[in-house]
Amino acid sequence: MPPAPIPMTTLLLIRHGESEANLREDTHMAGRSPAAALTPLGVRQAAAVGPMLRDRYGPTLSRVTTVYASPAVRAADTARHALSAAVVDGGTPPPVTLAEELLEIYQGEWEDALRSSIDEAAAAAASQRDPAHASAPGGESPAAVEARSAGYLLGAVVPATVAAVRA
């Protein structure tokens, strides 16, 4: 008798809806801006993800076992609005696990700085020389963000998949 099939793990990445920080991108380096809330448009964008989730996973999202989000207000609220819009018939959305490791890139000295105070030409040149490892002074590089977030997801998702196989 052949072994039972191993369940597939699907990882969906959903970007947050428009936030207050997005409205200041022309003048400020947003960086993490963890307290930036969704705008009314951002709330609608997040809720618009709900029907896609429902179409893919059913009206109760019963096949969705875990939802991870950054603790940034805009990311956590996007997850909650999307899940609430997906579940119908009085169902309860799956819980959202907030993880610091999923925060956006840390911009160091540039966090929330005026763009006019940053030597953007020097930053662009550094980024062109080594895009994966360039960073703001005291900030993270894209490679560091990738290692941080991927390490967390591998540490969280792989054990959950193994547990599902053994169940």
| pLDDT digits 0-9 by tens, 15-43 | 999 999 888 877 887 678 899 999 999 99
| Sequential DSSP letters for 97-109 | EE-GGGS----GG
Nearest to residue 163, comparing CAs of 56, 66, 53, 58?
66
Q: pLDDT class for 6, splitting at 50, 70, 90?
A: low
- Bigger pLDDT: 82 or 127? 82
- What are the sequence ranges of the domains in the chain? 21-166
The confidence score (pLDDT) of residue 38 equals: 98
- The pLDDT, as a whole number, for residue 125 is 78
pLDDT tens readout for residues 89-145: 778 888 999 999 999 999 998 888 888 888 878 778 778 889 999 998 999 999 999
Domain 21-166 is classified in which CATH homologous superfamily?
Answer: Phosphoglycerate mutase-like (3.40.50.1240)
Higher-confidence position of 72 and 62? 72
CB 61 within 8 A of CB 86: yes
Residue 70 has pLDDT above 70, yes or no: yes
